[in-house]
Amino acid sequence: MGKPQIRSTLALGALAILVAAGVPASAKVEGDTIVLGAAVSLTGKYSTNGKNTQDGYELAVARVNEKGGVQVGDKTYKLKVVYYDDESTPARAAQLAERLINQDGVKFLLGPYSSGLTKAIAPVTEKYKIPMVEGNGASLSLFKEGYRYLFATLSTTEFYLKEAVNLAAMTAQAAGRDPAELKVAMAFENDPFSQDIRAGVTEDAERWGMKVVVDDKLPPELNDMAATLTKIKAVKPDLLLVSGHTKGATLAVRQTAEMRVEVPMIAITHCDSAQVAETLGSAAEYFLCASQWDRSLSYRDDWFGSAEEYAQLFEATYDYSPPYQAAESTAAVLVFVDALQRAGSFDTEEVRDAIAATDMQTFYGNIKFDETGKNIAKPMVLYQVQDGQYKVVAPTDWASAKLIHPRRLPE
């Protein structure tokens, strides 16, 4: 020990730390620009939806700046977002949130993609009392921790497939059957988001007295769900529920067709971001899909106009049709814009209170937070794939097509 080069290398290392520490942290407001921060998944297993999230944020920022910016007090400001890549892992996300707050001096955070990552970041923002508006952490458990600085523009997990369970029960009643006779099969990915959906539907199924016959947790790296589907074929359920981000959606559609799993009603999540109707054609017919938002809905706001106009702008900018993950992210930025304008200040407490008092309509839907921070003003919709199109079939107020039941197998 104690050799000169070790010493000098160590000294160099120490120096590097100090130099890195010396880089000045940027402030929350640089000149006439308000800096928001976000850790999004640009790489790793969530990078498709992470990209949707980032595109949603960027579109909002571009639009707001184009239309003159945000008026806070008597001055108008431009918006800017600092991004880091959380690599789809919670460990990184938590560190990055801290880095955004401590090193970049960001005072307002936008959420990451997925409930797991939001779960990792929420304790950090809570500790620093930094408001975070997120559009992609739907897990109900996030809103049971009593977080004061966390706000979500989306409907929480228990609503995702609730409508499908109710729909199954009501169709059974209409056909003169007792909903309690229905058998339900479930296959949910083993991550916070899907497991919370599972908790939600289990409750609904219990309320109707339905029997859960298959209840599998799909490992995230599973590339084949044949084992689960074999079981499902054997027990012949009346309703099959699957959730596993885009991979789960693609697998479910492809393999149910391939293995000819005959279930009268199948409801899944993420089928629009997985583009199942576009890539898998007839195999996707009559699948029910939970969605936070649809371009055909009649919401509108001053920034983007109607939902359809938002969708067109998004397509023109990014060359793909906006999945709801992008829309809810855009809405998160609009919440900040609205709250900053009403607060008329950059004080985090005042902005937090202004966010809590939000009551607005956006192209994405109405936004009003309850005391836990989740949006209670916007319902989920349920699509059915009919002739390769996503048609809203529930709730009935928004429906643009009638539910086709039972599901017929594609030939």
Partner 1 sequence: MSNLLIGAVFALAAYGMALVWGVMNVVNICQGEFVMLGGYTAYFLFKAGVHPLVGIPVAAVLLFVFGWLLYRAVIFRVVDKDLFISILATFGLSILLQQLANQLFGADVRTADAGFRTLFFFDNMVTVSVVKIVAFGAALLVGAILMLFLKKSRLGQAIRATAQNARAARIMGIDTGRVYATTYALNAAICGAAGALVAMTWLIHPYLGLPYTVRSFMIVILAGLGNVAAVLAAGLGLGAAENFAGFILGAEYQSAFVFALLVAILLWRRFWLDRTRGYLK
Partner 2 sequence: MPPTASRLLLIGLVVLALAAPWLAPAYRTQISFLWVMIIFALTWDILGGQMGYNSFGNVVFFGVGMYGCAVIQRDTGLDYYPALCLGMTAGAALAVTLAAVLGSGLLGLRGHYFAIATLGLGFAAGEFASGWDFIGAGSGMVTPLYPGEVGDRESFFYFLLLALTVVTFFVLRRLYSGRFGLAINAIRDDEDKAEAMGIRTTLYKTTAWCVSAFFLGVTGAAVGNLIGFIDPRDVAFAGPTFGVWMVLMAILGGKGTLWGPVLGATVFHITQELFWTYLLGWQRVALGLVILAIVLFFPLGILGWARERWPERFGHAVEERPATGEGAS
Residues lying near partner 1 in the complex (CB under 8 A): 43-48, 50-51, 187, 190, 215-219, 221-228, 230-231, 233-234, 246-247, 250-251, 254, 258-260, 262, 274-275, 279-281, 283
Q: Do β-strands 359-362 and 365-368 pair in parallel, antiparallel, or remain unpaired?
A: antiparallel
- 190/243 Cα distance (integer angstroms): 10
| 123 lies in the site for partner 2, by CB under 8 A | yes
The answer to whether 280 and 250 are in contact (CB under 8 A) is yes
Q: Which of partner 2, partner 1, none lies near 216, with the C-beta cut-off 5 to 8 A by kind? A: partner 1
Q: Which of partner 2, partner 1, none lies near 25, with the C-beta cut-off 5 to 8 A by kind? A: partner 2
Closer by beta carbon to partner 2, 24 or else 68: 24
Q: Which of partner 1, partner 2, none lies near 116, with the C-beta cut-off 5 to 8 A by kind? A: partner 2
Q: Which stretch binds partner 2 (CB under 8 A): 18-26, 168-176, 201-209, 400-408?
A: 18-26
DSSP state, residue 114: S
Closer by beta carbon to partner 2, 98 or else 308: 98
Q: Which of partner 2, partner 1, none lies near 48, with the C-beta cut-off 5 to 8 A by kind? A: partner 1
- 213/209 Cα distance (integer angstroms): 13
277: Cβ contacts below 8 Å, ≥ 6 apart: 271, 284, 385, 388, 389, 390
The answer to whether 157 and 193 are in contact (CB under 8 A) is yes
- 198/212 Cα distance (integer angstroms): 11
> Other CB atoms closer than 10 Å to residue 84's CB: what's the count?
19
The answer to whether 269 and 161 are in contact (CB under 8 A) is yes
| 190 lies in the site for partner 2, by CB under 8 A | yes
Closer by beta carbon to partner 2, 117 or else 284: 117
DSSP state, residue 142: G
Q: Which stretch binds partner 2 (CB under 8 A): 14-22, 170-178, 225-233, 299-307?
A: 14-22
| 7 lies in the site for partner 2, by CB under 8 A | yes
Q: Look-up: residue for tokens 């229905």?
A: 182
Closer by beta carbon to partner 1, 41 or else 372: 41
Length of the chain counted residue by residue: 411
| 3 lies in the site for partner 2, by CB under 8 A | yes
Bridge partners (DSSP) listed for residue 243: 188
Q: Which of partner 2, partner 1, none lies near 53, with the C-beta cut-off 5 to 8 A by kind? A: none
Residue 49 Cβ, how far from partner 1 at the closest point, in Å? 9
Integer-rounded Cα radius of gyration of the chain = 23
| 226 lies in the site for partner 2, by CB under 8 A | no
HEC-encoded secondary structure of 48-70: HHHHHHHHHHHHHHHHHHHCCCE
Q: Which residues bind partner 2 (CB under 8 A)?
A: 1-7, 9-10, 13-14, 16-18, 20-22, 25, 42-43, 83-85, 87-91, 94-95, 98-99, 102-103, 116, 119-120, 123-124, 126-129, 139, 141, 145, 189-192, 194-196, 217, 219-220
